[in-house]
Amino acid sequence: MTGTAGGSGAGARSGAGARSGTGAGEPMNPGPVGPGGLVDLHTHSSCSDGSLEPAALAQLAAARGVGTLALTDHDSVAGLQAAAEVCRAGGVRFVPGVELSCDWHGQEIHVVGLNIDAEDAVLLAHCAEVGRLRRTRMQRMGERLTAVGLPGEALTTAALSAGVATRRHLARSLVARGLARDLQDAFERYLRRGRPGYADIAWPELRRTVECIGGAGGVAVLAHPHRYGLSVSQLGALVAEFKALGGEGLEVSLAGMGRPDSSRAEALAQRFGLAGSVGSDFHEPGLPWRPLGRFAKLPSAIRPITASLDP
């Protein structure tokens, strides 16, 4: 297994049937509705690789009828306080979260932590360490791009000045300089594993990551199981280990997740007794396949993870 955790838009744009009726121009399904409106438990702000500042994200969520919002930036809790304040003022229930990248037997996996204590020292140290790894990796990616004749240093400037250096920043720079048509093209040409700009990163192990979330008082949710390129049996092995380590939830309804993937996730959640989580994986406005708060409903047979979160 050598896949990377795929990203945004990938499946939604390339995979036939990957969209679940939320394409441009179509009416969008409302997401799951909690007591106070829509529920969205997976979003990103400019504190990682989203385009909106945490406060602006929270404002947009309120305007879109989201009643429960989790901010889950990649390996960062920097935006939680600002988002929480705006949510409080706007009557939105805020769930402090994070999305941690980690390693499971050579496979990159993402785990969302919900209801975490943003001041937990171990979690903060974890994020700081991953931040350093990311910066070193970004420098290596820049060198690799330079080696194929691209302006690697200039291309990595934005990523290296961001709170968390991600390939999405690099993809945006490639697009801005006309070196790729769009984010997807940038990943296909340069940034996917095996492409000239890709550099590996030694993510912390899944075990340590799940423990870190639990230690910070949070619940661990396995993110976007359909995006790892794993076979059904590999996914079963991952979910079994995740559950044994203390994982509590699985993302079952995500924007851009087609019915077959959602059904597989639903079956896994039931088999392993995991609660179901839902979210958009929102990064920026203007991507119709990732609208804030809009995605398929959680199947009624699945226990919602919101029941495990403090009121």
Please say whether the beta carbons of 150 and 142 come within 8 A: no
Structure tokens at 20: 């679940």
Of these partners, Mn ion, ligand AMP, none, which one is at the site of residue 219 (CB under 5 to 8 Å by kind)?
none
Of these partners, ligand AMP, Mn ion, none, which one is at the site of residue 68 (CB under 5 to 8 Å by kind)?
none
Q: Which is nearer to Mn ion, 27 or 106 (CB)?
A: 106
Of these partners, ligand AMP, Mn ion, none, which one is at the site of residue 101 (CB under 5 to 8 Å by kind)?
ligand AMP
Residues of this chain that bind ligand AMP (CB under 6 A): 6-10, 49, 74, 101, 166-168, 171, 183-184, 187, 283
Of these partners, Mn ion, ligand AMP, none, which one is at the site of residue 198 (CB under 5 to 8 Å by kind)?
none
Least Å from the CB of residue 300 to ligand AMP: 30
Of these partners, ligand AMP, Mn ion, none, which one is at the site of residue 167 (CB under 5 to 8 Å by kind)?
ligand AMP
Of these partners, ligand AMP, Mn ion, none, which one is at the site of residue 6 (CB under 5 to 8 Å by kind)?
ligand AMP
Least Å from the CB of residue 203 to ligand AMP: 9
Residues of this chain that bind Mn ion (CB under 5 A): 49, 99, 110, 223, 281
Question: What distance, in Å, lies between the first and last C-alpha atoms of the chain?
Answer: 39
Q: Which is nearer to ligand AMP, 7 or 276 (CB)?
A: 7
Q: Which is nearer to ligand AMP, 45 or 166 (CB)?
A: 166
- C-alpha distances (whole Å) from 199 to each of 59, 86, 138 are 36, 37, 8
Least Å from the CB of residue 7 to ligand AMP: 2
147-153: long-range pairs with CB below 8 Å, 24+: 147/196, 148/196, 148/197, 150/179, 150/190, 150/197, 151/177
Q: Which is nearer to ligand AMP, 162 or 275 (CB)?
A: 162
Least Å from the CB of residue 10 to ligand AMP: 4
Q: Which is nearer to Mn ion, 223 or 287 (CB)?
A: 223
Of these partners, ligand AMP, Mn ion, none, which one is at the site of residue 237 (CB under 5 to 8 Å by kind)?
none
**How far apart are alpha carbons 207 and 216 in whole angstroms?**
14
Least Å from the CB of residue 31 to Mn ion: 16
Least Å from the CB of residue 164 to Mn ion: 9
